[in-house]
Amino acid sequence: MIPRSPTSTLVQGLAALGESAGATEFAFDTADFDKVRLLLKQHTGIALSEAKRSMVYSRLARRLRATGASTFRAYLDALRSGSPEWEQFVNALTTNLTYFYRESHHFQMLADHFKQRARPGHTQQIWCAAASTGEEVWTIALTAAESFGTLTPPIQIIATDLDTHVLDQARKGVYREDQIAKVPEAQVRRYFVQGPPGTYTVRPELRALVTFRQLNLLDPVWSVRGPFDAIFCRNVLIYFDRATQLKVVSRMAPLMPPDALLFVGHSENFSHGQQAFVLQGKTVYARARQPGAAT
Ligand SMILES: C[S@@+](CC[C@H](N)C(=O)[O-])C[C@H]1O[C@@H](n2cnc3c(N)ncnc32)[C@H](O)[C@@H]1O
């Protein structure tokens, strides 16, 4: 007789419960995964690699539970573009990592840019095109306040994202202490107020500088106008394929006057295939001075 190990007993126990060791709650086959990939790519430009299979499973399994769907097929078949569940589906699959002063050299350049473009009566317009939970947009606001030495600098920021859930968090401007760890202490004192307990909230004067709006960079029409003195489009293009990246960036060019700056993420490179911009610094591009450029 083969001795029974504790492991085999556990496996048999799970089998008796209708599960097996390592088994998942919902069947999720290649056809389901491919359908998720197709829907997401078509709607958002986000191209999911094979390596994201288990991430997709775990994030969408929550949506199956929430909606009561018994299989991925049933869930996906019932999904309708534009429906409330569609929004949840998209929100579940976006990657929202962000933090204050991410790629901090960008904010040194932005501070100089603000000062160079300052003119009496001119309000500089900034578009933060993948704002996520707001750390980036508030860093832009902090940089403006520091550059102009006032809580009411002459700038206006439009912050957009595809994901409505993160935009709601961004709008609140409330962060835990660990989330603002990269903000210098003097700036925390100047630009945040304490509370709710254990948290810091961006001061209302800075919040008045920002408008939040949902915007899908793949939409044929964008609800932003420009001209923008600077656009931040960081760490989102990386989720798109090359053709989509270039298309999005080339649509931004007409919204920018010459010398306006486009900030992209550290691994997003347009030196090839993009005539409208000239590399200005590490992952910062200036709108080229050329005929047809916005003025
Ligand atoms: C990794 S975060 C980057 C946040 C911030 N820009 C930064 O660099 O820290 C990527 C953001 O892009 C957003 N996103 C993904 N696809 C998008 C699309 N098609 N249109 C607009 N935003 C999109 C996601 O919802 C997510 O909040």
Closest Cα to atom 27 of ligand 1: 132
Which atom of ligand 1 is nearest the CA belonging to 232? 6
Residues 79 and 154 in one domain: no
Cβ–Cβ < 8 Å for 136, 169 = no
Closest Cα to atom 14 of ligand 1: 162
Cβ–Cβ < 8 Å for 256, 228 = yes
Cβ–Cβ < 8 Å for 144, 155 = yes
Q: What was the pLDDT predicted at 271?
A: 67
Q: What was the pLDDT predicted at 23?
A: 58
* pLDDT tens digits along 10-24: 333 333 333 333 458
Residues 187 and 125 in one domain: yes
Residues 40 and 171 in one domain: no
Residue 155 lies in a domain: yes
The reply to whether 269 sits in an annotated binding site is: no
Residues contacting ligand 1 via CB (< 6 Å): 44-46, 94-98, 102, 130, 132, 136, 161-163, 166, 216-218, 234-236, 239, 265
Query: Which residues does the annotation mark as catalytic?
Result: 59, 161
Residues 190 and 115 in one domain: yes
Which atom of ligand 1 is nearest the CA belonging to 98? 9
CA of 160 to the centre of ligand 1 (A): 9
Where the chain has pLDDT below 50, the residues are: 1-22, 291-295
CATH number of the domain that 180 lies in?
A: 3.40.50.150
Q: What was the pLDDT predicted at 272?
A: 63
Closest Cα to atom 3 of ligand 1: 235
Host domain of residue 28: 24-93
Give the list of residues 6+ apart from residue 139 with CB closer than 8 angstroms, or none: 100, 101, 102, 107
CA of 125 to the centre of ligand 1 (A): 20
Ligand 1 pocket mutation, candidates 164, 236, 248, 264, criterion most atoms within 8 A of CB: 236
Residue 19 lies in a domain: no
CATH number of the domain that 36 lies in?
A: 1.10.155.10
Which atom of ligand 1 is nearest the CA belonging to 265? 8
The reply to whether 207 sits in an annotated binding site is: no
- CA distances to 93, 141, 170, 181, 214 from 163, rounded to whole Å, are 9, 21, 11, 25, 7
The reply to whether 133 sits in an annotated binding site is: no
Residues 72 and 135 in one domain: no
Residues 110 and 79 in one domain: no
Residue 200 lies in a domain: yes
Residues 110 and 63 in one domain: no
Q: What was the pLDDT predicted at 295?
A: 39
Name the domain count of the chain.
2
Residue 15 lies in a domain: no
